[in-house]
Amino acid sequence: MPVFAWKAINTEGKTQSGKSQAVDQTALALSLEQSGQLLLKATIVRPGLTLFAAKTGREQLLNFSFQLSMMLRAGVTILDALRDVSEGEGNSAMREVIGKLIDALSSGKTLSQAMLTQPKVFDSVYVNLIQAGEQTGQFIEVLEDLTETIKWQYEMASQTRKALTYPIIVTVVITGVLLFMLGYVVPQITQLLKTMQIELPWQTRALMWMSDVILNHWLLLALFVGGGMAFIAFVAKVPGKMRTHTDNLKLKLPVLGKVLSRIALARFSYVLAILYAAGVTVTDALKVVEKAVGNQAMAEAIKSARIQITKGKSLSAAFSGSALFPPMVVSMLRVGEATGSLDKSLKNVSYMYTREARDAVENLQASLQPIMTVILGGIMALIMVFTLGPLYESVIGGGKI
């Protein structure tokens, strides 16, 4: 279906423009007429080759949610609000998404139904909250909550990146130093050892073998390491038992596992809190949380708890048997159920784990610096001992000093 760039005039005499999909220009004119606009001009947008196509991200979604909530709060109709947001949107990809929402609403769909056709922009949490707002009549309040939610999601994504990036940088630096030592320093020393015909210990022979592999078989080594990393990345993304097992191992990693666990628990608590507060049932909210938690092992635990709830168990009792959810979380769920303020209890849990995750990331960065220094020093010391050790013993044994 072609995309038309159009200009139209509304009932107030204002000129408006946008992009919409339609079978032909007549269908476009009828669609605009239904929304109170008279088509003035329309041209088909020809797709071009773009190396750096515009993309939508959290920044565009945050801006969209904030502006739409403000306009609706001022009494503007949703179609006019969407058109105004589209006109002020500087990102072409987001502008196109809003145009599709306008077309869907003009054809009789609700906003949540229109957003279902744009899953890359509006995730399950966003769509479910919009749907809950439509059903409960708290649409504006939900949009305002979504603005805060996107800010929180941005912070959690930032914490996750920090938690994963620093260990990766440390690993790359250590690997680079090791490759330099084995590829440049060790060959210089081993060449001398070979000419002296010294009987070498197994540690030195092993070091020389590794150096030989790096120098003479580096392509095969690179293919092996690259293939292994690609396989691990593939397994980590494909849903199934292997991914569940991998994600469970992530949560058990020393130091880093604690950070990832806190982030996942914060996501669980926050998303469940806002969905429940918006009027979504617990079982439906847990279905959304399974996708939003960001860890397959925890998602499986949530699914298991949801099944138990459908069989009659309380929320706190369903989660009490899972090792992934600490007693404090279960206790807060129990308090929330007893007092009728489950959303407030969950937000308190989310606040605590968000703070703990932030502190854990800062501690991780601080602790890795001395650890990195020790590891680098240890690697260099071992290589020197394994290479210069035999030379030193030969000199001492031969009585040359």
Q: Is residue 383 part of a domain?
A: yes
**Rounded CA separation 397/278 (Å):** 82
For all residues of the chain together, what is the average pLDDT? 81
- Assess if residue 253 is contained within a domain: yes
Whether 134 is in a domain gets the answer no
The DSSP annotation for 287-339 comes to HHHHHHSS-HHHHHHHHHHHHHHHTT--HHHHHHT-TTS-HHHHHHHHHHHHH
Output DSSP code: residue 152. Answer: H
Q: Is residue 99 situated within a structural domain?
A: no
Same domain, 198 and 347: yes
Task: Show the tokens assigned to 37.
Answer: 């606009």
- Flag whether 163 is in a domain: yes
Q: Which of the listed residues 49, 68, 89 is the one where a domain comes to its end?
A: 49
How many whole angstroms from its chain centre is CA 263?
A: 11
Q: Residue 309 has what pLDDT? A: 92
pLDDT, one tens digit per residue, over 122-174 is: 888 888 888 888 887 888 888 888 888 788 777 777 777 777 777 778 778 88
Q: Is the pTM here over 0.75, yes or no?
A: no
User: Do 352 and 233 reside in the same domain of the chain?
Assistant: yes
Q: Is 155 found in the same domain as 258? A: yes
- Amino acid identity of 320? S
Instruction: Flag residues of the chain having pLDDT under 70.
Output: 1-2, 21, 23, 46-55, 198, 235-239, 391-401
Structure tokens of 387? 């290479």
Report the CATH number that the domain containing residue 182 is assigned in CATH: 1.20.81.30
Q: What is the pLDDT of residue 305?
A: 92
> 173 CB contacts (<8 Å, ≥6 apart)?
372, 376
Residue 154 has a pLDDT of: 79
> Could you tell me if 324 and 189 lie in one domain?
yes
60: in domain? no
Domain range holding 364? 144-401
> Residue 130: inside a domain, yes or no?
no
Number of domains in the chain: 2
DSSP letters along 30-45, please? HHHHHTTEEEEEEEEP
Residue 314 lies in a domain: yes
Question: Residue 228 corresponds to which tokens in the numbers above?
Answer: 């292994």
Residues 43-93 pLDDT 10s: 777 654 333 345 677 788 888 888 888 888 888 888 888 888 888 777 888
Asked whether residue 269 falls in the same domain as residue 383, the answer is yes
